[in-house]
Amino acid sequence: MAEAGILAESHREMLDRVFWASVPESAKREVLLSEEAWCIPPKNVQSYVAELLKQGENADAVSILQNYASCADNEEPDARKRAATGLSEMAGLYAQAGPRLLQDALRHIGLRLSVEQDQDLQSLVSAAFVRLSQEAATHRHYAAMSQALNLLDGVESQRPGIAKTLRTKMGIEERVPEFVEEALRARGLAAGLTGVLKHLPQTAMEQLSTRFNRCQFRSDLENVASLALELGEEALQYLRDTVRGGPVAEAADMVGLLTRLDIQAAEVFLPGRMKDFHERRRTASSGKSRPAARTGVAACCWLCWTTWIRW
């Protein structure tokens, strides 16, 4: 049946389900609120909590999910293993139940990333962290996304290889363009989203520079510049460094935004880059190189320069 695309319930899963159905409600709740909650198969936990939410018993549902997440800190390796597996399987339920629960689960599983020594366990913990982070992004739980990136920053100082791999798998950086657009459309509602973008200053500033160059109205320019300024000094320094000595194409893209945010830096860096911009324009015009939308680099840079100087 598996080859035909039909998911078959294993004999063990069937026995678990039948046994769980025979357990009295009071006993179910008692074990799900105990330190042994990790013993209960995730499917049973999920179905029980989903029923509580359906009946409006939100407080009990939250307590059970919080308790289950805390099992990730259990002293027993088998308990941590099963809790990590369960959190991965129930990531969608945690996101559905609310951002605070998702943050709570991320905190428990994220702290294990730095201290877990068992390699197999670390793989399970990493998978759970990625799934929870992906659900945070999908449901636009910005505070949870920011927390995940904060936790990852802590992991990076101790296990940089793992942090880099997880950052890629989380997929948050790939969604920066859509997050930037959302932040620009609803600034008042996107305070948490700005916090997320601060964790990804380079990608965010590259996207904002591109967006800035496409603006046709001054109000749009101001909106982009205001968001870029909120990203903080690290993002602004990346902008300065790119215009000062980065690749010509990237530097050209960022000139306009830099002149709006830090005209003094632009006055220092831009004259020294004009030769590079002119050379790129010359080679592009001669047919040696024709990258899309780059043939007018020097003219575009000079236009940005003179326009903002007049401001």
pLDDT in tens, 104-147: 999 999 999 888 888 899 999 999 999 999 999 999 899 999 99
Give me the residue label for tokens 């609310």. Answer: 98
In the Cβ-directed half-sphere of 68, how many Cα atoms lie within 13 Å?
A: 34
Looking at residue 41, its pLDDT comes to: 93
Residue 5, helix vs strand vs coil: coil
Distance CA 227, CA 276 (A): 29
The whole-model pTM stands at 0.81
Residue 262, pLDDT above cutoff 90: yes
Ranked by mean pLDDT, the top range of 18-27, 65-74, 292-301 is 65-74
Of 29, 31, 21, nearest in space to 59 by CA: 29
Distance CA 51, CA 57 (A): 9
Distance CA 219, CA 93 (A): 41
Q: What is the CA radius of gyration of the chain?
A: 25
Looking at residue 293, its pLDDT comes to: 40
DSSP state of 38: G
Looking at residue 2, its pLDDT comes to: 41
Looking at residue 300, its pLDDT comes to: 52
Residue 51, pLDDT above cutoff 70: yes
Instruction: Give the pair of three-digit tokens for residue 55.
Output: 């009946």
Average pLDDT in the chain: 85
Mean pLDDT of 8-24: 72
Do 178 and 185 contact (CB within 8 A), yes or no?
A: no
Do 126 and 162 contact (CB within 8 A), yes or no?
A: yes
Which is more confident, 297 or 186? Answer: 186
Residue 6, pLDDT above cutoff 90: no
